[in-house]
Chain A
């Protein structure tokens, strides 16, 4: 993998680095930003914020609810048990099972969505520098076009405190 990136000591300078890369003609999707914490206080920290996880969780909850309903109906009608004058399919107790599996459906869907959309576990070689976990913020470009590398290096280096690296 080929990459050019810079390590920044704080959010302000990283924001400047991102802005300069944009100025050099890069779209947000082409800029790699890595940090050891959410950077909600800066504009670059809001890139890729929009997602449909809540809707998917609701969908998972519906699947959980339908599964619980199916499980209780099919089991109780296939193996009917007579208990104290209750009907074979008793709604009140079954609502407990349906409630639990509905929420379990939402929880499991959320986890699966997180793993898929956040690309976990990560596959293949991706740009990373252990300095990120020491508090540095990495801003860079993965697999840049050869003719643009110099321009990106200049753009990143112009931001205050930047340590530019190339691999």
Chain B
């Protein structure tokens, strides 16, 4: 039995600097057979191993139908990610995965889709936006809401502007601190719900970001008639094993790595927002 904790070698095909502290790695498994067999769903994550340093859990940001490469967008926050930021094309990285449950994209087909993000944690839902825009006919309206602390924190700014020009697509962006030529709202993204045009009772909402922001957003959504069964959110907890054994990511009786990271809101509601869980 091969240990589920064993990584496989990948090669960095491309490294993109997204912002001073955020970079994207485009990766490819070096074993062609393993590369061909690798499948994932948007919202799932991999464990990335930097040689001799350690592992981190990072969501997959690329399209699941891209057969050649997969991508991770990473923010420098700790020892491992600081090391990963030094990687260049041709460097090697260990990867195991994919793990967890992804976004409910089949459920969202034929319905309005809202994608809501706060802070810098937009990577997990950007995979959803890309998924929907590339398969536009399968979905109805697309509402993209993104909040950042400072306008400089918004990565993929041109993409947000481009998405705003697509049909049946609404882009609402907010920064707590704006800057010259910032075209969007200054304040909290949760202040923009009055501008949202969508079929609330049937809409599927996918959120990720700080839990405080998601709590506020949840209330706004419920007030507008969105069903708690149609709201999905991606949670983050410490992960060491990613396979439901190490105990770090427990959230009540659930493991974020195995039962999440994407949860239906009604499944996590009892403990959601309670400090210490």
**Chain B binds chain A:** no
Q: Which residues of B contact A (CB under 8 A)?
A: none
Q: Which residues of A contact B (CB under 8 A)?
A: none
